[in-house]
Structure 1
């Protein structure tokens, strides 16, 4: 337990036979139950999980009981997907198991060894203390991103901005970071069954959390890259996540504002987006033929940009209390 709270950990793994054993062996002592999910691996990942789980469960003593009366014994629970569902699907399975067991706080720990034990404790702390509903790592601070390749830094900064717009968490960075902790109440509040199952699940979850006014803690952490293999194909990843964020953005505006009778933010966004389309169409059709037409197109684009900026300001103001300051101690 950690500060009187039962702690679960979801460990998604896909073809991580070389790393997953070490992750299980170095689980922090305060983790009461780990759901290690083999996501349809084609190597020996499942066998390694079962072997190391058996060894870990031999030494279990004084297993705690959750709020729902579940005694967390065994400590490490192997879970196997017959088919690969994606990292979000593996995490969804673990979240569902943690909810059923009544665990107070549920972590996500990478199956490739990128989440070091001291990082885990810094991320669980604000949620266990009740200061945040959800906490996540942030590798984009000046001191933390040195080990991250430059192209990943660039991509992450771009996705950070797009996720700010889509999610409403304007003070959150590094949305792709998979080292997270979430409270049981927050898990119950969001519709985990509908959570996106591929890469991009973390962006989707942020949007869902904002719709229920969950508080978020960004926890500075160093980037860790060793010999793990990325399963992300940028050619398919970028279009998928861009499309996901666009859908999530529209869904959040409806769930957070329209459904509660508040219209300024979505109305300004709609005016800005429609105006931009009209302005671009007018510019491409008139620039070559009439100066006046070009001036009119520019005026429409300028007004549209103003609408979008005003929408962002109002959205940020509405969500400013949903970001909390995490302890920055290393």
Structure 2
């Protein structure tokens, strides 16, 4: 328990042999449950999970040890619940619940599985920690405090808030992170937020129940997807300054595919957020300003391109048409900036920044 709140930690793991054991053994004593999700690893990750779980149990409890983890009854009926349909959940070894995916579902899929397990166990707060040892477990209270204290519904780490933290991030990661930070600000409505790819998070049970865990994105962009869904439901988000630890682990992310896929997902989510929050659940003209801005910019841009083509290919008068299109684009830009201004104002009260 942490400040009278039960804490569960979700640890996704794919080929994390050599790292996952240290993560499990290093988990703080106030953590009540650890859900370690093996996403069909091809190395010794699963054996290391079981070994570390037994070591953690011995260090915290003198009760007799099991020879091995055994399957829970809830998953032996062929899949009567969402969790059972996607994974084999084993009985806890001490406070560690080992979970095996039936097929590789990616980082987001592993997080989703862990969230479903945390919800099923009725825990007050669910924390996510990567299985590669990049996250300083001693920093966990800084994520938990805003959530258990009622200041935020969701807290996430931020490696970009201070220059010394940014310097420790590899340059290629920083560049991709910066692009996705800008896109996620627009898509999610959390305009002060930075480092949306940070997987060190804490979320309240109420927030998990509100965002439809079963519908979460299952690729690496799950962090961005959660932010959009939180905003649509009016949840408060805390950005917590926090360093990361980069060691010998190798990332399995293909960054060109990563940025492309997540960008498409963010565009789709952005439109869904506008519809859900500003047209369906309530009404605000900023959604119309966004749509009008996008439409006029698109028409103006296409018109400008046609003017150039007509001028050179068809020897057609083009100046008046081109200037008109530029004015249309300018109107669209003003409308979009106005919508963003309204969006920032609407979401000011939903953002909290936690400095050192």
TM-score scaled by structure 1?
Answer: 0.94
Indicate conservation of the 8 Å contact 1:190/1:209, yes or no. Answer: yes
Once the two structures are overlaid, the 10-residue window that deviates more, 15-24 or 223-232, is: 223-232
Give the match for residue 242 of structure 1.
263
Pairs within 5 Å for 1:9-88: 9-61=9-61, 74-88=94-108
Name the structure 2 match of 1:186. 207
Are residue 269 (structure 1) and residue 297 (structure 2) matched?
A: no
- After TM superposition, list the pairs within 5 Å mapping 1:268-307 onto structure 2: 268-287=289-308, 288=311, 289-307=317-335
Residue 104 of structure 1 is matched in structure 2 by: 124
Partner of 2:216: 195
Residue of 119, 128, 131 corresponding to 2:139: 119
User: How much does 1:263 deviate?
Assistant: 4.0
Moved more, 243-252 or 228-237: 228-237
Q: Deviations over 1:164-207 (max 9, x none)?
A: 10000011000000000000111111100000011000000000
- DSSP-derived class of the 1:144 partner: helix
Contact 1:160 1:174 in 2 (8 A): yes
Deviations 1:18-64 (A, max 9, x none): 1000101100111111001101101110111011112212343599x
Return 5+ residue gaps in structure 2 as ranges.
64-91, 312-316
- Assess if the C-alpha contact under 8 Å between 1:39 and 1:84 holds in 2: yes
Contact persistence 1:60–1:75 (CA under 8 A): no
2:134 is paired with a residue whose SS is coil
Which residue matches 1:156? 177
Question: How many Å apart are 1:237 and its aligned residue?
Answer: 1.0
Q: Which residue in 2 is equivalent to 1:215?
A: 236
Is the contact between residue 145 and residue 223 of structure 1 (CA under 8 Å) also seen in structure 2? no
Q: Name which of 247, 256, 264 aligns with 1:226.
A: 247
* 1:73 CA drift (Å): 7.6
CA distance in 1: counterparts of 2:141 and 2:179, whole angstroms: 28
Supply the distance in 2 between the matched residues of 1:258 and 1:155 (Cα, whole angstroms).
Answer: 32
1:307, distance to aligned residue in structure 2 (A): 0.7
Write the distance in 2 (CA, Å) between the matches of 1:135 and 1:143: 21
Kindly report structure 1 stretches of 4+ aligned residues shifted beyond 4 Å.
Answer: none
2:76 corresponds to: none
Would you say the 8 A contact 2:128–2:202 is kept in 1? yes
2 CA distance for matches of 1:146 and 1:282? Answer: 44
Q: CA deviation at 1:262?
A: 0.8
| 2:344 aligned partner | 316
Counting matched residue pairs gives 320
Alpha-carbon shift at residue 154 of structure 1 (Å): 1.9
